[in-house]
Copies of this chain bind each other. A is one copy, B any other.
Amino acid sequence: MTDDHGQRPSSRQLAGKISARLTHLIATLYPDERTRPGYARLAKEIREATGGGLSSTYLWELTTGRKHNVTVEQLGVLADYFGVPPEYFFNEEVALRVNAQLQLATALRDAKVRTLALRAEGLSGETLDALLAMVDQARKLHRLPAVEEPAPKDTTADRGPLP
A residues sitting closer than 8 Å to B (CB atoms) are 1-8, 10-14, 18, 37, 45, 48-50, 52, 69-73, 75-77, 79-81, 83, 85-87, 89-91, 111-112, 115, 162-163
Bound complex: CA A1 to CA B86 (Å): 25
Bound complex: CA A34 to CA B95 (Å): 42
From the candidates B2, B71, B76, B87, name the one contacting A86 in the complex (CB within 8 A): B87
| Known A12-B50, A80-B11, A80-B12; contact A70-B69, beta-carbon cutoff 8 A | no
Chain B: CB-nearest residue to A45:
B5
Chain B: CB-nearest residue to A3:
B111
Bound complex: CA A130 to CA B111 (Å): 45
Bound complex: CA A112 to CA B4 (Å): 9
B75 touches A72 (CB 8 A): yes
From the candidates B6, B45, B115, B163, name the one contacting A83 in the complex (CB within 8 A): B6
| Known A76-B12, A77-B12, A91-B85; contact A6-B49, beta-carbon cutoff 8 A | yes
